[in-house]
Amino acid sequence: MNSYPPELLAQLAPVMFVAGLDPPPPSTPTTAQSPTTPTASKAPQQDPFVILTMRLREALLAQRKVAIWQPDKSKSFQIIPVDKTVRFPPRKLVPQDDPGYSAAHSPLSPLTPSSPLHPDGLIAPIWIRKHTTLVPSVFVMFLRIYEYPPHMPRSPLDPPDPDRERDRELEERKRDAELAADIALRKKSTNERNIKLTVVLMATRRMLDDPSLDGRLTYIRRQSGLDSRAALFVLSPVSQQELGDFVKSLQQALYEPALEYYTAHSKRVRRKRNRHSQAISSYPTVPHTPLGTPGIGRPLRPEGWTVRYEYKMACFAEFRGEDDIALKHYQDAYEMLVIMFGSTAILPPRTKRWAEAKVLADCINIKVAKLYLYNNEHALALSHHNTHIRKFGDFSRGWGIGEETFEFWSWIARQHRILAELLEHGTQSKLVIPDHRPVNPVASQRPSVAVPSSVLELEAMRTMGMNPSHALQHPGYYYYMAAKCTEARRERFLAAAEAEASQTSPHNPSPGFTNEKKVDHLIIILELYTKAYELFKKYAPANAQNQNQGRLTLWIAYRIGQTYYESGKFDMAVRFFERIAKSYRREKWGLLLRPLLATWYACARQLGDVELSIRLLVEMLGYGVEESEDPASLEEDLLAVLRNSIPSTPDPEPMAIDLGESQPMLDSSVAFWTSEVKVGEPAAFQLCLAAPTTITLASLPFASLEIHFSGNLPPVVVKHAPEVLPAVVQRVDLGHISSSGAAGSPVANFRWQPGAAVVLTGTVSSGIPASFKILKVVLTLVEGPWTIQIPFDPSKSRGSSVPSARWLSSVDPPRFFPITREDFSSVIIRHRSHSILMSLSHKAPAYLDEDYPILIEVTNADDRELEVTADVLLQPTEIDGTENAIVLDDERSSSLIKGVNFGVLQPGVSVVKTLHLISTGAAGERMVDVSIQSTAVGGHQHENPELQDMTETLQTLVVPTSEAIKVNFGVVYKRALTARAGVADLRTYDHDFWDDSDGGEAIVTAQMECAGPWGLEVASVKLLRKDNEHAKVVEASIDTDNDIPSDYLTGDEFSDVCRVSMDIGEDLDLAEAAITGPGSYEVNWRRILGSGDRGPLSTSIFPLPPLRPPIDGVIALLDVSPTAKLHVPVPLTITIRNRHPSRSANVTIQLEPDPSDGFVVAGLRSGRVPILLPGGEEKVTWRLIPVDCGYVKVPRIKIVDKRRALVSAQAREPNAEVETEGDVVKIIDVRLDRARERKITGRVSVESTR
Amino acid sequence: MSKKVLKAVAFISPENRPILIRTFSNEDDHASAIKYHYIAHTSLDVIEERVAAGGKSTECYLGLLYAMEDVAVYGYITPLKVKIVIALALSDSVVRDVEINLLCKALHMAYYSALSNPFLKLDAPTDATNDHSPYLLVGRSNWKNFRRRLDEISRVVSNPSNAAGT
C-alpha cells in the first residue's frame, strides 16, 4: 500500500475544521493573554478552560483516524484542528473581480498552466488532499465569550452599583461586537465556499445562568450573520463524559450540512460532466485554453474529463458515506480509464498522464474491491481485482512490459500485495474470511435453518458452484502470491542484468532498470513470505493433533529458507531447513525432502560445515537423486568431502549419523524362518541389505557392518573383505550366534553395485524363552581420518511401502520366495511344553449326598523331572438349592482348591490323588476344572511368568448327579373323633395339652425308590422325630417293624407309614400356612460297587412333607358300626360340628326312612338342632334295628344348614314365607374318612423352636 | 460439463502417505511434479481442518480447499479415509461443485477398482491381523492400470464433448 498515494486509498469521511482549540504554549503561563478571566490567572494550570480546550481537542481528534478500511457508518467527521484565521486555497487563480474569472479554471485543473497536472495530468492525489485537508465541509470555531469580572459586594446589603452595571453592559456590548465581527469575517470566507460555520462559545457555568446571556447570544448571531440553525453553541467546562456527548451531538448536528456541502459539490460536478458530454461533438478541436499556452501537450480528451468527473463524484459520494453511489462512480471512472488505456492515441504509454492513470486505475480497483468487501460481496470484489490484473496484464504486453519483464511482475506483485494488505486491514476490523466448505445438503434441509428463500439460495449455490478464483481466502495466500511474483520479478531482473552484462556495446538502460538495480528483491520476498507465514500460522486450525506446524506454514517456511539461501544468509537458511526437515521426515514424503536436503547441503557447503555436509550427504543417499541427475554425484561428493577435509579434532570419535526417522540408504529386510522356536533350538534368519538401483554406492568405503540383536546376544561384526568377489546376491553365512558371539569372523564384500544385495544368514538360539529381532545394523565407513557410523533399523522399510519378507532360497540364480507371515522380522523362543498326562476317572453318575470319588492320575511322560501342582475349581451351578463341595487331601472348598502339591515326579512316574465331590440339593450336572501345572525341577524362577518353564494342563470334568433314593410322600387326613374340650375345661390350660380335635390326624406314607443306576445297600432307615407345636408323630410303622436294611437294585422300593397328630392352635391360619412336617427320614446307605465292594456310607435326609389338613365349615360325622346282627339294634351317631371360626350354624336334620330300607329306625325323624356356635358340636343318635341281612344301606339322612338361607330371606322380604333350602351339610363316614391334601398350597408355617 | 483442465490428482493414504500423485500438465518436468507434491501435502492441512470441523458428517466431498498460484485445489475423503486431492487449472469460470463431486467419485472408483486387483496382495502376509491394505502398492509404477484410468478421466474432463460421444 505504501507504493500508492495514501490519499487515493483512504476511506473518505466528511471533513470538519475546528479552530480555537490550539494547545496553550507550554512554557509561558497564560495569564497575559486572558485578561478576561482574572480569576483564572491565580492558578493558570487549573484554568478550567485550558483543560476544556485540551480535552475537546483530544476528543475531537480521536473521533476518526485516517484509515483504509473503515466500513462503519457512524456519523463521525474527519476533524482537523486549524488556526482561526486559516485561509482556504483559492478557487481560481484570478481574483473574483477579474473579468476572466468565469472562464478561469481551478488551480488543479489540467487546463490551468500552473497546475501540477498541466500539460498532461489526469487527476492527482493533491485534489483529494485539497478536500481532506484544505477545505472542510464544516467549520467549527471555539471562542470565549466575554465575562465581566464578577461583582463582589462588600456586604449583601449593598445596593447594586448602577455604575458598575452600566460599565459592565457597555464592556460586554463592546466585546460582543468585536466577537461578532471576527465571526462575520470568518463567515464571509466560509460562505464563499458554502461551508457551514458553527461557533461554540465557551462560558463559565455562572454565565450560563446569567439572564443576559440569551440577549447577548442573539446579538452576536445577528451581528455575525450566523445561520439560525446549529450555528451557535454554548459550552461550559464539563466532565469528560459529558464532553463526549457534546462531541457526538455536535457531529450529529453538523452531519446534515456536511452532506449538503458534498451534495452541492456532486451536483456541480455532474452539471459540468453533463455540459461536457453534450459538448463532446464539438470537442475534437483543441479546447481553447484562454490563459497560458494552448496545445503544448496533449490536452485531456473527453474520456479523461469523464474520468475526472466520475472520480470526483465518487469521492464526494464517499465523503457522504453513500457507498453504493461511490461504487457506481468509481466503476464508471474505471471503465473509462480502461477505454483510455485501450487506445495509445488517447493515452500514449509511458507518459506522465499514463503513469498517473495507471496508479489511479490500481487505486480505483482497490477502492472498488474494498466497497464490495464492505458489503461482504467477496466474489465481486475478487472478480474485479482479478479482472483488473488480467486486463492490465494484457495492456502491459502491448506496452512492452509483458511477462518477460520485471516491471510486469513487479506490478502484479504489487496488486497481490495491496489486496493482501487490504484484507489484513479488513480482518482486523469486521471482515470475515469465508469458509469454502461445501454446503451440506443434510444440514441445509433442517427446517430450523430455513426460511424458504434461503434454502433456495443454498440450492442455487450448490448447483451453481463457484469460481474458485473468486473464493476469498485469508491474506496469507495473497502475500504468498505477491512473494511468488516478486521471485518472478527477480528472475526477470537477473536475466536482464545478465543480458546487459553480456552486451558489449554500451546499451542505454531504461530508467526503470536503473531503479530496479537499487531494489533488493530478496528482502522484499522475505518480507512477503514472512507475512504470509505469520498469517498462515494465524489461520491454521488450532487442533490438538496439529500442534506441530501446519504443512502450509512449513511449505512457506521452506520458501523462506530458500530465499535466505538465495540471499546468502546460509546460517539462517540452515536453521529453517533443520526445523522443516524434522517434520518432513516424520511425514515420510521423501520427494519433498530431496530438494530441501539439496539446498541445505549447498548451505552447509557454503558455510564450510564439514560434519553437517557429511550428515546431509549420507541422508541424501537415502533419498536418491532425480532421474535427470548423475546417480554417482552424491557418492562422489561424499568421498570428496571426506578426502579433502579432516575432522575438527585430531583423534576423533567415530562420527555416528543416526538417521532415525529418515530413510536409510540401503533397502533392508530381516526375516526369520519361523515365528517361534523352542528353547535351545536354532532360529534361522536372513538379513538382506540391498543397494537401490537409482544411485550408486559402489565406491563408498564401508569397512564393517555390525548387527545388534535384541536380548543378550552380542553384536556380530562382519568385516569388509575386498577379496570376496562381489556378486548380485552375496550370501554370507554367519553361522550360529549364541551368547558368546558368532563362531568365526565373517567377512563380506561391502561395495554395493546398484541393485546388489548382501544376504547375511545365520541362526540364533537361546536357553531361556526370549524374543529376538535385529535391533539395528551399523554400517561403518572409514576414509582417511574419518570414521562414520551409520546405524539404522533394518526392519523398517525404506520408502513408504509396506515391507515384504523374502527368503533367499538360491544364490545362483538368485531366487527369493515370500514369507507370508506378519511378524517375520522377529522370532519368539519358548520353553518346550512338558509331556504330562492327566487322567480323571470316576463312575458317573454321582449320587446326591454321596462322597463321590474322582481319581486324578498324573503321569510324567517327559524326560525331565517335573514338579506338579494342581488347582481344582468347582464351577458354581445354576441349579437352585444345591450345596456342593470338593475335597482334595485335607482341603475342602465350595469353589477352588489351589496349589495342591503332587510332588516331584521322576520321568515315567505317576501319582494318583482322589478328589471328592459332595453334592447335595438337587440333581443335575456338576463341573470341575482340574488344572495341573508342571515346572521343571532346577529351572530358573523368573519374575516374568511368561518366561517360566511351566506347562499347564487343563481338563474339565462334567459329573452328572442324580438322586440315590427317590421319595414319594402320600398324605391323607382323618378328622378327630373326640369332641372339642369345653371352654372351661381346665386341661386346656396345661402347658402340654395336645388338642387334636381341630386338626385330627394325618397319615403320611413315604415310598422310597432306588432311582439311580447303581444298586444301594441301605444300612439303616430311621424316622427322626422333630415334633413341633402343631404336629407330632404319633407312630410309625418303621418303629415296630424295621426290616428295611438290605441291598436294593434300581427300581426297588421300600416304604413306611406314620401317623401324625395335629394341633391347630388359634395362632395358625390354615388358609395361609401349612404345618411343617414333624420329622424326617434318615437313610444311611452305601453304593454297591459290584463284587462285594461298597462305597462309603452316605446319609440322605428326607423331611416329612408339610401338612395341610382340610378346612371344614359345618360338617357332620356319621359313626355307625360296620356290622350288625339281625334284629339287634345298633346305634347310629351323627356328630354335627360347626368348625367355622366365627359363624353360628342353624342346622336341621331330616331322616327319611324308606320302605326299601333294611332298618327300622328309632329316633328323630325331622328336627332342628340347637344353634351351633362356632366350634360347637351336637350329637344326634338313632337306634337302628336291622331287618334285612346282607349289605344294607343306612337310611337317608339330610342335614341342612339354614342360616344362610334365613339371612338371605330376611334380607329380601322380612314377612314372606319363603321355602328355602339352605346349605346341605356334608356327612362323612368316619370309618372312611381320608381327606386328601388340600389343593391350595400354603406356606409351611415357621416352626417354633420351643 | 464445462471444460476444465485437470492439472494433477493426488491419492493420499489414511496415514497421510502419498499413494500416487499424477500430474497431467504438459510440462511434465520435475519441478511441476514437486509442485503438486507440495500442493497435495499442504492440502492435507485443510482436509484435516474440514474433517475435524465436519464432525461425524459422512459427506465425502470437501469442496474447494484453496486456490493458489494457478490452481484451485479440491478435496475428497473416502469413507476409509483415503484422501483425493484434485488440482484444477484456475480459470475465470464457475466450477460447479456437483461436477467436481462427480469427478471425485470417478477417481474414487478408479482407485477402488485398481485396489481390487488380487495380485496386489500377493506378497502380503496371510495371517496379517491388521490389514496392510495394498494402499500404497497400488500407486507403484509397476501397476499401470490405475494410471491408465486416471489418464482416461483426465482426458474426459478436459474434453467433455468427446466423452459424450464415446
- The C-alpha cell at A454 is 434461503
Asked whether the beta carbons of residue A440 and residue B136 sit closer than 8 angstroms, the reply is no
- Identify whether A119 is preceded by a cis peptide bond (ω within 30 of 0): yes
Q: CB of B56 within 8 Å of any CB in chain A?
A: no
Asked whether the beta carbons of residue B98 and residue A463 sit closer than 8 angstroms, the reply is yes
**Which residue type, as a one-letter code, is found at position A1173?**
L
Question: Given this model, what pLDDT does residue A39 score?
Answer: 43
Of B45, B129, B136, the CB nearest to A801: B136
Q: Does A1002 share its domain with A1024?
A: yes
Interface of B with A in 24-53 (CB under 8 A): 30, 33-34, 37-38, 41-42, 44-46, 48-50, 52-53
**With contacts defined as CB-CB under 8 Å, which chain A residues touch B37?**
589, 591-592
CA distances from residue A774 to A82, A218, A233, A665, A668 in whole angstroms, order as listed: 86, 105, 94, 18, 11
Q: Does A931 share its domain with A851?
A: yes
In a domain, A635, yes or no: no
Q: What is the Cα A194 distance to its own chain's centre?
A: 65
Q: Which domains does chain B have, with CATH numbers?
A: 6-165 (3.30.450.70)
Q: Does A678 share its domain with A735?
A: yes
Q: CA nearest A532: which of A416, A431, A372?
A: A416
Residue A1127 domain boundaries: 1114-1234
In a domain, A547, yes or no: no
Q: Does A414 share its domain with A460?
A: no
Interface of A with B in 568-607 (CB under 8 A): 587-589, 591-592, 595
Examine the fold and report which residue of A353, A375, A400 is the final residue of a domain before the chain moves on.
A400
Dist. CA A1239–CA A495, nearest whole Å: 117
Q: Does A985 share its domain with A954?
A: no
Question: Given this model, what pLDDT does residue A151 score?
Answer: 65
CATH value at residue A1076:
2.60.40
CA-nearest residue to B52 within chain A is A543
Q: Which residue has the cell 339354614?
A: A1202
**With contacts defined as CB-CB under 8 Å, which chain B residues touch A591?**
18, 33-34, 37
Q: Does A378 share its domain with A405?
A: no
CA-nearest residue to A383 within chain B is B92
Coil, strand or helix at A101: helix
Mean pLDDT by 10 residues, chain A (1250 residues): 80 87 59 42 61 84 81 82 83 72 74 74 83 88 82 63 81 87 86 87 83 85 82 84 87 89 90 76 42 50 85 90 90 89 81 86 90 87 89 86 85 91 87 73 41 50 70 88 90 86 65 80 90 86 58 88 89 88 80 85 86 85 75 82 78 76 80 84 86 80 86 83 80 81 78 84 82 85 84 71 70 78 79 85 85 89 86 85 84 87 87 88 86 78 66 88 87 80 74 76 88 84 85 85 82 88 74 80 86 82 85 82 87 86 84 80 86 84 87 85 67 51 79 67 40
**With contacts defined as CB-CB under 8 Å, which chain A residues touch B46?**
552
Of B69, B95, B136, the CB nearest to A802: B136
Contact (Cβ atoms closer than 8 angstroms) between residue A1145 and residue A1138: yes
Examine the fold and report which residue of A1103, A1125, A1158 is the final residue of a domain before the chain moves on.
A1103
**With contacts defined as CB-CB under 8 Å, which chain A residues touch B14?**
none
- The C-alpha cell at A645 is 577435509
Q: What is the Cα A93 distance to its own chain's centre?
A: 73
In a domain, A731, yes or no: yes
Q: Does A421 share its domain with A532?
A: yes
**Which residue type, as a one-letter code, is found at position A1246?**
V
Question: Given this model, what pLDDT does residue A1246 score?
Answer: 39
CA distances from residue A68 to A4, A362, A419, A433, A943 in whole angstroms, order as listed: 12, 14, 12, 18, 75
Helices (H), ranges, A25-161: 38-42, 48-61, 125-129
**Which residue type, as a one-letter code, is found at position A603?**
C
Question: Given this model, what pLDDT does residue A469 score?
Answer: 81
Give the CA angle between residues A1087, A1090, A1093 to the nearest 5°. Answer: 65
Q: Does A324 share its domain with A441?
A: no
CA-nearest residue to A583 within chain B is B41
Q: CB of A386 within 8 Å of any CB in chain B?
A: yes
Contact (Cβ atoms closer than 8 angstroms) between residue B64 and residue A468: yes
- Counting the structural domains of chain A, the total is 8
Q: Does A668 share its domain with A765?
A: yes
**Which residue type, as a one-letter code, is found at position A1046?**
S
Interface of A with B in 429-488 (CB under 8 A): 435-438, 440, 442-443, 462-469, 471, 473, 477, 480-481, 484
Contact (Cβ atoms closer than 8 angstroms) between residue A507 and residue A484: no
Q: CB of A626 within 8 Å of any CB in chain B?
A: yes
In a domain, A97, yes or no: no
Coil, strand or helix at A557: helix
User: Which residue of A693, A802, A826 is the best one to mutate when testing the B interface, meaning the one whose CB has the most B CBs within 10 A?
Assistant: A802
- The conformational region for residue A594 under phi > 0 = left, psi -120 to 50 = alpha, else beta, is alpha
Element (H, E) at A1022: strand A1016-1025
Terminal Cα distance for chain A, rounded? 111
Dist. CA A243–CA A1191, nearest whole Å: 137
Dist. CA A1007–CA A1025, nearest whole Å: 18
A1206 burial via Cβ count (<10 Å: 0-12, 13-18, 19+): middle
**With contacts defined as CB-CB under 8 Å, which chain A residues touch B140?**
801
Question: Given this model, what pLDDT does residue A291 score?
Answer: 39
**With contacts defined as CB-CB under 8 Å, which chain B residues touch A819?**
125
Q: Does A1119 share its domain with A1078?
A: no
**With contacts defined as CB-CB under 8 Å, which chain A residues touch B65?**
436
Q: CB of B8 within 8 Å of any CB in chain A?
A: no
In a domain, A1147, yes or no: yes
**With contacts defined as CB-CB under 8 Å, which chain A residues touch B98?**
462-463, 465
In a domain, A544, yes or no: no
Coil, strand or helix at A87: coil
Contact (Cβ atoms closer than 8 angstroms) between residue A762 and residue A685: yes
Interface of B with A in 80-119 (CB under 8 A): 88, 90-101
Q: Does A181 share its domain with A74?
A: yes
Asked whether the beta carbons of residue A468 and residue B72 sit closer than 8 angstroms, the reply is yes
Q: CB of A543 within 8 Å of any CB in chain B?
A: yes
Contact (Cβ atoms closer than 8 angstroms) between residue B95 and residue A471: no
User: Which residue of A437, A484, A546 is the best one to mutate when testing the B interface, meaning the one whose CB has the most B CBs within 10 A?
Assistant: A437
In a domain, A880, yes or no: yes
Examine the fold and report which residue of A941, A962, A983 is the final residue of a domain before the chain moves on.
A962
In a domain, A76, yes or no: yes
Asked whether the beta carbons of residue A466 and residue B64 sit closer than 8 angstroms, the reply is yes
Dist. CA B6–CA B156, nearest whole Å: 10
Q: Tell me, what DSSP letter sits at residue A812? A: T
**With contacts defined as CB-CB under 8 Å, which chain A residues touch B53?**
435, 437, 541
**With contacts defined as CB-CB under 8 Å, which chain B residues touch A386?**
92
CATH value at residue A891:
2.60.40.10
Q: Does A1019 share its domain with A923?
A: no
Asked whether the beta carbons of residue A468 and residue B99 sit closer than 8 angstroms, the reply is no
Helices (H), ranges, A891-939: none
In angstroms, what separates the C-alpha of B162 from chain A's closest C-alpha? 23
Interface of B with A in 113-152 (CB under 8 A): 122-129, 132, 134, 136-137, 140
Asked whether the beta carbons of residue B124 and residue A462 sit closer than 8 angstroms, the reply is no
User: Which residue of B13, B94, B119 is the best one to mutate when testing the A interface, meaning the one whose CB has the most A CBs within 10 A?
Assistant: B94
User: Which residue of A436, A556, A674, A826 is the best one to mutate when testing the B interface, meaning the one whose CB has the most B CBs within 10 A?
Assistant: A436
Of B93, B98, B125, the CB nearest to A467: B93
**With contacts defined as CB-CB under 8 Å, which chain B residues touch A541?**
45, 48-49, 52-53
More confident residue, B130 or A944: A944
CB pairs under 8 A between A and B: 142
Q: Which residues of B23-54 are buried (b: 16+ CB within 10 A; e: fewer)?
A: bbbeeeeeebbbbbbbbbbbbbbbbbbbbeee
Asked whether the beta carbons of residue A467 and residue B94 sit closer than 8 angstroms, the reply is yes
